[in-house]
Amino acid sequence: MFRKTLILTLLITLLVGCAPAPQTTPEVDPAPTEVASTEAAATEAETYLVASDGLGREVTLAAPAQRIVTLAPSLTEFVFAVGAGEQLVGRDDLSDFPAEAADVASIGSTFGDINTEAILALEPDLVLAAEINTPEQVQELESLGLTVYYLSNPLTYDELYEQVNLFGQLTGHEEEAAALAESLAARVEAVTSAIATAAEKPTVFYEIDGTDPAKPWTTGPGTFMDTMITMAGGVNIGGVLSDAFAQISAEEIVAQDPDIIILGDVVYGVTIESVAERAGWADLTAVKEGSIFAFDDNLASRPGPRLVDGLEELLKILHPELVVMQ
């Protein structure tokens, strides 16, 4: 009996020893294409927008900005205009339009040193800078780990529409921005069409600062105001200057004898009545015919959506006889 048991045990052992080893699935590294596509998908998920700014820098956003700080009034106006006002958590001290901007925390003045502590405390995911801000200020904010996008001033209305659409991308309000850009373009086209029927082009003196009436500051060639005066059917007498913004002598003004004088400095206390009291100005055509007008300089000096408002206002001044069809 013992012998039978031993033989049976040996047989079982041999059978087990000869049985094939259990199969295991080896670990295989994913193919290179699979790795690449996975990494690309991850990168795409982390990148919402890559845009080149006015300083030639590529700025990347992982998502539409939800906490924005603006360093210039024009930027504040852009943010509100595309419907992203609720995403604005901080703005510079001069941002006063629209009225809702007053409810947004101010980070103070951006002339000179920027209050970086105030900006950091707001925890922005995007800081917007403009040409009134310096590259050094942008660099300082970037060194603190902030994402900063710098916008150059638009030089044409087409560039203005592009910036409107850019703000739509930055804030996630692309549809609102597209609708706004289309509306602005239609309004400008209406002015252009109206001007095509104008018989004459009046000469215009636009005053930026008349603190020194013997040499007031005006807008020269290449500025947006120069463009606006031309598009509104006028001729800017400051176009003879070599600089974009410069002082023009009273003698030059008298020599050119403008048909219309537009005061962009009424906010500083200059009045229509005071112009006639300036030495040598009483004989100007604009003074004798009462063609002196007050103008909100923000509609020309702030490179934002209200540049279209400015164009329409200039048309009313230069060509009140024209009817704009929209």
Residue pLDDT, tens place only, 104-157: 999 999 999 999 999 999 999 999 999 999 999 999 999 999 999 999 999 999
Tell me the percentage of the chain whose pLDDT exceeds 70. Answer: 86
Q: Is 115 left (phi over 0), alpha (psi -120 to 50) or beta?
A: beta
Q: How far is CA 32 from CA 25, 42, 270, in A?
A: 20, 15, 72
Task: Give the separation between CA 263 and CA 212, rounded to whole angstroms.
Answer: 14
> For residue range 13-61, what is the model confidence (pLDDT) as tens digits?
333 343 444 444 444 455 555 544 544 444 455 789 999 999 999 999 9
Residue with the larger pLDDT of the pair 40 and 259: 259
2, pLDDT greater than 80: no
Average pLDDT (166-189) is 98
Q: Which CATH number fits domain 47-184: 3.40.50.1580, 3.40.50.1980, 3.30.300.30, 3.90.1150.10?
A: 3.40.50.1980
Q: Which of 323, 156, 148, 150 is nearest to 231 (CA)?
A: 156
CA distance 257 to 237: 9
Distance CA 212, CA 312 (A): 29
In the chain the first and final C-alpha atoms are separated, in Å, by: 114
Q: Would you identify the CATH topology of the domain 197-318?
A: Rossmann fold (3.40.50)
**Is the pTM here over 0.75, yes or no?**
yes
Whole-angstrom Cα distance, residue 164 to residue 83? 11
| Coil/strand/helix, residue 25 | coil
Q: Where in the sequence of the chain do the CATH 3.40.50.1980 domains occur?
A: 47-184, 197-318
Distance CA 303, CA 78 (A): 9
Residue 164, pLDDT above cutoff 60? yes
Across the chain, what does the average pLDDT equal? 88
